[in-house]
């Protein structure tokens, strides 16, 4: 079941995302790159963004967030520099923190979370979403493509591992 953020899910959300990081041997950085997960209310909800968890049998198995912002300049799908990093032009929302715990895979959880993000984005007047995804997340890329996302560029993430990412755009 997909539920809006509540503090009771904080530990489970962190555990879910951290499990994916361990699976891929990524660096966990609670003071920096992952600090938002320790303050979802302040980093997402207080700014009008949304954050969801997928819960089954009292356990968080997935997470996803929608960030909304002013339209990035440029034609939809071009890449531009904004806020000091490469972004997808023509978007006014982004999919953030979409993760499914390894124990929850192949159950349609990611699809359900993405559909929730897209529905919320449409209700909020978002016209195009940007998605940045580590190049190693092949199943995620297949899901994004199935939902209509198009790959438009790449960049190096500002995470501790300086991971290469694909940039995608979803027109809504």
Name the domain count of the chain: 1
Domain span at residue 11 reads 2-171
Task: Please report, rounded to a whole number, the percentage of residues in the chain having pLDDT higher than 70.
Answer: 100
Q: Which pLDDT value is given to residue 24?
A: 97
CA distance linking residue 122 with residue 118, whole number of Å: 6
CA distance linking residue 85 with residue 157, whole number of Å: 9
- 44 φ, ψ to 5°? -120, -65
Indicate if the pLDDT at residue 32 is higher than 90: yes
Instruction: Give every CB contact of residue 168 below 8 A, 6+ residues apart in sequence.
Output: 88, 130, 131, 132, 133, 141, 144, 149, 150, 151, 152
Indicate if the pLDDT at residue 83 is higher than 90: no
CA distance linking residue 77 with residue 106, whole number of Å: 30
Say which CATH number the domain at 54 has: 3.40.630.30
Q: State the pTM of this model.
A: 0.96
Indicate if the pLDDT at residue 41 is higher than 90: yes
Q: What is the pLDDT of residues 117-169, one digit of tens each?
A: 999 999 999 999 999 999 999 999 999 999 999 999 999 999 999 999 999 99
């Amino acid at each position: 079941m997909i539920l809006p953020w509540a503090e009771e899910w904080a530990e489970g959300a962190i555990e879910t995302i951290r499990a994916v990081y361990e699976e891929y041997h990524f660096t966990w950085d609670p003071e920096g790159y992952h600090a938002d997960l320790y303050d979802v209310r302040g980093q997402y909800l207080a700014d009008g963004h949304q954050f969801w968890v997928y819960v089954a049998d009292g356990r968080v198995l997935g997470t996803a967030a929608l960030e909304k912002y002013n339209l990035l300049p440029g034609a939809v799908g071009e890449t531009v520099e904004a806020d000091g990093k490469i972004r997808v032009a023509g978007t006014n929302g982004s999919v953030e923190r979409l993760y499914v715990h390894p124990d929850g895979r192949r159950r349609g959880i990611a699809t359900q979370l993405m559909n929730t993000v897209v529905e919320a984005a449409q209700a909020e007047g978002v016209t195009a979403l940007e998605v940045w995804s580590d190049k190693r997340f092949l199943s995620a890329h297949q899901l994004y493509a199935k939902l209509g996302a198009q790959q438009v560029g790449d960049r190096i993430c500002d995470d501790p591992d300086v991971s290469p990412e694909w940039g995608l755009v979803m027109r809504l």
